Amino acid sequence: MIKIESLSYTYRGSAVPALQDISIQFDFSKNSITSVLGESGSGKTTLLQCMAGFLRPQKGRILIDDKNIRQMKEKEFRSKVGVVFQKLNLFPHLTVLKNMTLALNRVQALSIEEAASKSDKMLERLQIHELKDMYPAQLSGGQAQRVAIARALVLKPRYLLLDEPTSALDMNTTEDFSVWLRSLHETTSFVIVTHDIPFARSVSKKAVLIENGQIKMHNKIENVMKSFSNS
Amino acid sequence: MLFKKRTFTGQFLEFTRICSFSLFITLFCITFISQATNQFRVALTGKYPPFSFYDSDGNLTGFDVDISKALSDELGFDLEIITIEWDGILAGLLAGKYEAIIGSMAITPQRQKKVSFSNPYYISGAQLFIHEKDTSSIKKIDNLSGLKVGVVLGETYEQFLRTEYPQINVITYKSTVDIFQDMKNRRLNAFFTDRLVGMYQIKKAGMPFVTAGDLLYHEEMGIPVSNPVLLNDLNNALSNIRSKGVLDSLHRYWFESQNSVSSQTMNINVIVNRLLKGFGITVGIAFISFFTGILFAIPCGVVLNGQKSLYKFVLRSLIDFIRGTPVLIQLFFVYFGAPQIGLTLSPIVSAIITLSVNSCAYMSEVVRSGLMSVDPGQKHAGRALGLCRLDIFRFVIWPQAFRIAIPPLGNSAVALLKDTALISVISVGEVVREAQSIISVTFNPMLYYIIIAALFFIFTYPLMRFTASWEKILKKRGFMHD
C-alpha cells in the first residue's frame, strides 16, 4: 500500500505549487495496475518524482507499507519501489543483459553467474530474450520500453512506477504493449502515470485524475474516464 | 609508475655507490700521489673543443691536452689530466688537487690576485667573421653600421659591442650553430666570437666564412699554478717547446689544417644511440607525466563538474592559471623556483612535475566535459536501481564519460609528447637536446631536425588515427550525438 498524506510540492522559483495538499491511498489488494491520469502540467510527473524519492516535498508525507519514506534507508526504499523513467535511461554502454545484472550484482550482491541466470529467466518470461546481447541504441522504442521494465522487474520491487510508458510507442505497439503489461503484475503492483486514456483503460482497473496539482477523482477507471471526458 | 620509481631508487643507490667508491679512490690517490714527486696533475674541462674534448672514441683530446703532454714531457713529469667543471676549476687548484690548469684561461688582474700565471701560451680574442662574398664590402668593424651582427648569448662580446658600437644591430643566438645557419642564409652580415674557436668551428662545419680586420681586443691565455717553484720550470718549458717549434705545429694542426677535423666526425652508431636514448627519455617522460596527469585529472574533473564549493573555486582558479600561462615559464618556475624554497629537483624530476601538472590541468577539463556530456537521467536511473553513489560513478557515469573523453585525451597525449621538446632548455638529455649536441659537432641542423620530426610523427600518428577511429565507434554505438 502506498499512502500519500497532504502532500505539497512547489518548484524552486515558481509561485504556483505543482502539487497542492494531495492525499491518496493506492490499494493494491490484488497487485493491480493503477493509472494516474492528467493533462500535461497537471502535476502527475511531479507526484511520481515525489513517490520515487527524487523530489523532496515541502509538506506532507508518503508512506510505503505504513512506513514514512523519509525514515527509510535509501537501500530499503529502493528495494521496494522501482521506477521506469519516461526517457527510460538505459545504460548505453552496457548490453541489455548487463543493464539488468548490474544492480543484481552490486546491490543484491548476487554473483555474476547468478545475476545472469536470473536476468535470463526474466527476459524469457517477458518474451524479449532475443534482445539479451543488444545495446540500447540498437533497440526500437517498444523493445527499449520493455527492457527498461525488465531491468526494474528483475530486482523484484513491491511497487513499480512507470512514467508515460507509451510516449515512444505508436498505436499498434501500444496495444501489444498493453497486453504484455497486463501479464506482468503477479508480484508487483504498478502505478502508471500517463495521459494516454485508451492505454490506461486497457491496462488498469482503477485511476487517479489530477488537475492543477490536486486530486480530482480516485475511482474505477470507467468513472474517472467519464469525468475526464466531461471536463 | 611503480616500476619506474623503483628504477629511480635503483639508479640513485647505484649513483651513491659509484660516488662513494670514486670518492674513496680519489682520496686514496690524492694521499698516495701527493707523495710522488714526479706527478704533474693538470686540470681542464674536457668540454671546450678544440681545446679539450672527447673524440668519437671517447678519448680526451684537443689543443690544451696536447700542450699538457708536450709540457710534461719537457719537464720530465708523469702527466695526469683531471677534468673538472669550469666553475670550480680555480678552487680545486687552490685546494691543491692539481698543480696547474691548462684550460685556456685568460690572464686577468682579478685572477692574478689569487694565483700566479705562467707566460701566455697562446693569444686569442674577439674576432669579426664575415661571409667570403662580403670581403670587398666589409673590411673592418667600422663598415658594420646598421648591419646585423650575431653573437652568442652571454658571451662578453655582446656587452662590448652594445657599449662600444651602438650603431651595430646586435642579434643574440643560443649557439654558434644557429649563427652559422643564419650566416649561410644571409640573414646575418657578420658575427663575433673567439678567434681560434671561430676558426676551428668554421673549418669543421666547412662554412664559407673568413676573418675580417684585426682582433677587437685580445686575451692572453696562461697557465695558473699553485706552486711558485713550479712557475719558473713551467715558463722555461714553455719557451723550450716554442723554440723547438712544437707550439707552432700544434697551433697549425688544431686551428689551420684539416687533420684535426677528420678525427672529429661522429660515428653513426654513436649518433643513432644518442638519438634513440634521447627519444626514449622523451617518451618515458611523456608517459609518466600523462599517467600522473590523468590520475589527478579524474578527481579534479569530478570536483569541477560538481556543485559550487570552495574546492571547486580554488581548483578552477588554479587550472585556469595553469592553462593560461606558457608551459615553458612553468618549467622555469619549477626548475629555478623550487630551490628557493629548499627543494633542489633534478631536471628530469622538474620536467615530470611540470608536465604532469600542466597535462592534469588540460585533462581535468576534458574529464569535466566528458562527465558533463553524460545525461543526468543516467544518475537517476542508477539511483532508482539502488546503486550507491560510488557504484553509479564507477559503472554508469565514468564508463560513458571516459568513452567521450578518449578522443580529446588522445589529443592531450599528442600535445604532451610534443611539449617534451621544451624540456631541453633545462638540460634534460631528451631527443632535442641530444640532437642539438650532435649538431654542434656535425653542423647539419636540417637533417637532425627532420629526423626528430619523423621520430615524433611515428609516435603521434598512430595516436591520432586511434583517436579518429574511436570517434567512429562512439557514433556507431550511439554514445555521441552528431
B60-80 pLDDT, tens digit each: 889 999 999 999 999 999 999
Query: Does residue B95 carry a pLDDT above 70?
Result: yes
Q: Of A11-25, A216-230, B147-161, where does the model show the most confidence? A: A11-25
- Alpha-carbon gap: A153 to the closest alpha carbon of chain B (Å): 10
Q: What percent of chain B has pLDDT over 90?
A: 40
Mutate to test the interface with B, among A85, A89, A135 (most CBs of B within 10 A): A89
Q: Quick one: pLDDT at residue B242?
A: 92
Sort out which chain B residues have CB atoms less than 8 A from A107's CB and list them. Answer: 385-387
Range of the domain at A150: 2-230
- Summarised one tens digit per residue, pLDDT across range B299-325 is 999 999 988 899 999 999 999 999 999
ipTM score assigned to the predicted complex: 0.90
A151 → chain B, closest CA residue: B385
| The total number of residues written for chain A in this structure | 231
Record the cell numbers describing residue A52, joined without a space: 520515487
Of A74, A85, A93, nearest to B381 by CB-CB distance is A85
A52 → chain B, closest CA residue: B384
Range of weakest confidence among A194-198, B9-13, B388-392, B449-453? B9-13
Report the pLDDT averaged over residues B185-191. 91
Sort out which chain B residues have CB atoms less than 8 A from A106's CB and list them. Answer: 387-388, 391, 395
Of A75, A83, A87, nearest to B384 by CB-CB distance is A83
Taking CB atoms and an 8 Å limit, are A136 and B385 in contact across chains? no
Range of weakest confidence among B103-112, B151-160, B289-298, B375-384? B151-160
Strand-strand pairing, B100-101 and B105-106: unpaired
Q: What is the C-alpha radius of gyration for chain A, rounded to an integer number of angstroms?
A: 18
Mutate to test the interface with A, among B385, B390, B402, B482 (most CBs of A within 10 A): B385
Query: Does residue B480 carry a pLDDT above 60?
Result: no
Sort out which chain A residues have CB atoms less than 8 A from B387's CB and list them. Answer: 102-103, 106-107
Total domain count for chain A?
A: 1
Report the pLDDT averaged over residues B213-242. 88
> How far apart are alpha carbons A26 and A8 in whole angstroms?
17
Distances (CA, A) of A124 to A141, A142, A147, B142: 19, 16, 12, 98
Q: Quick one: pLDDT at residue B65?
A: 93
Residue B482 pLDDT level (bands cut at 50, 70, 90): very low
Question: Which residues, numbered 85 to 114 in chain A, qualify as contacts with chain B under a Cβ-Cβ cut-off of 8 Å?
Answer: 85, 87, 89-93, 102-103, 106-107
CA angle B252, B253, B255 (to 5 degrees): 65
Q: What percent of chain B has pLDDT over 70?
A: 89
Q: What is the DSSP string of chain A?
A: -EEEEEEEE--TT-SS-SEEEEEEEE--TTS-EEEEE--TTSSHHHHHHHHTTSS--SEEEEEETTEEGGGS-HHHHHHHEEEE-TT----TTS-HHHHHHHHHHHTS---HHHHHHHHHHHHHHTT-GGGTT--GGGS-HHHHHHHHHHHHHTT--SEEEEESTTTT--HHHHHHHHHHHHTTTTS-EEEEEES-HHHHHHH-SEEEEEETTEEEEEEEHHHHHHHHHH-
Sort out which chain A residues have CB atoms less than 8 A from B478's CB and list them. Answer: 92, 135-138
Q: Quick one: pLDDT at residue B342?
A: 81
Kindly report the CATH number assigned to the domain that includes residue A108: 3.40.50.300
Of B380, B395, B403, nearest to A85 by CB-CB distance is B380
Residue B264 pLDDT level (bands cut at 50, 70, 90): low
Q: Quick one: pLDDT at residue B70?
A: 93
CA angle B450, B55, B265 (to 5 degrees): 45
Sort out which chain A residues have CB atoms less than 8 A from B377's CB and list them. Answer: 85, 87, 89
The contact set of B with A (CB < 8 A) is 375, 377-378, 380-381, 383-388, 391, 395-396, 399-400, 403, 477-479
Residue B280 has phi, psi (to 5 degrees) of -60, -45
Q: Quick one: pLDDT at residue B30?
A: 47
Distances (CA, A) of B468 to A76, B109, B409, B463: 45, 67, 12, 9
